[in-house]
Structures are given as structure tokens and as C-alpha cells.
Amino acid sequence: MKVTLEKVNTPEEEGAVIKAAEVNEGIRNAVDLLENNCRRILVSELSEERSSGETVMLGTDQIYYTESIDKKTFIYTKEKCYGTKLRLYELEETLNANFFRCSKSLIVNIRKIRSVRSELNGRMIAELLNGEQLVISRNYVKDLKRKLGV
């Protein structure tokens, strides 16, 4: 696709026009990214017994972490839990650079980590902004450091 960039003087003048023969997933993702500064994915709201509920679009910036349990993928926001048909590795490809895999079954949003604490066995405990704690496996600590440039 041909992309033309035009410089404007004020933020109010900023805008984008996308000319597309067909509104496919790529175009929708681009629109989401421009409108919401994040991608949006289709998820199902889950009740306490984790049965499928209402299907909604969820901005990736709201995601705290995602978890794979028994080949099912769950997405956690500040207070809610959602299910998705995507496998964890597929979700990993969809999510942006703010996310990183902290163990075999978990992907966490780095921007939602309040702090990390190292343990004697080499792993780290990440405390999220909502108070939840996740384990960062020893093998993945290097990835976190690389992502953060430390």
C-alpha cells in the first residue's frame, strides 16, 4: 500500500485517510491503532465459572496479562477476565512491544507492572497495578531486561 505522509502545524489538523478496496483485518487493525493508539481484539466476557459470555472488542492497552490454561487462553484486565479463541502464541504475535512472555503460559503487559522483586532461585515476582502477582521465570528475566534496555 502506498503511504503518503503530510506534515501539519497543529495536533488539531492531524488525521488519516485510508483508501482501501476492501476493509480487511489489516485495515481494521490500522484504524484501531490510529484511533485508539492500540489494537483491538475480539474476546468473550467470562463469568466466575469461566463459561463464554458476551463477545466484545477489547483494546490491547487494557490488558494486564494473558494466560494459557489447558489449551484455553484467558485475558485479564484490571478487574475482568475474558476468553479468546486465539492460542497464546497467536496472541503474542498480535500484541505489541509492550507485552512480553514471562513464563511458558503467561504474557504480561510491561506497562502494567508496578514493580519486580527478585527471589533466591533466580526468578522474579512482578506486582501488577491491580495488586496481582505473577512469576517471571528465570529464563525470561533476560528478555525483560532486553525489552527495557537495561
Among 130, 132, 133, 146, binds other proteins (CB under 8 A): 130
Asked if 40 touches other proteins (CB under 8 A), the answer is no
Among 72, 104, 129, 146, binds other proteins (CB under 8 A): 129
Among 80, 92, 141, 143, binds other proteins (CB under 8 A): 141
Residue 75 and residue 43 in contact, taking contact as beta carbons nearer than 8 Å: yes
- Residues in contact with other proteins by CB under 8 A are 61, 78, 98, 110-124, 129-130, 137-139, 141, 144-145, 148-150
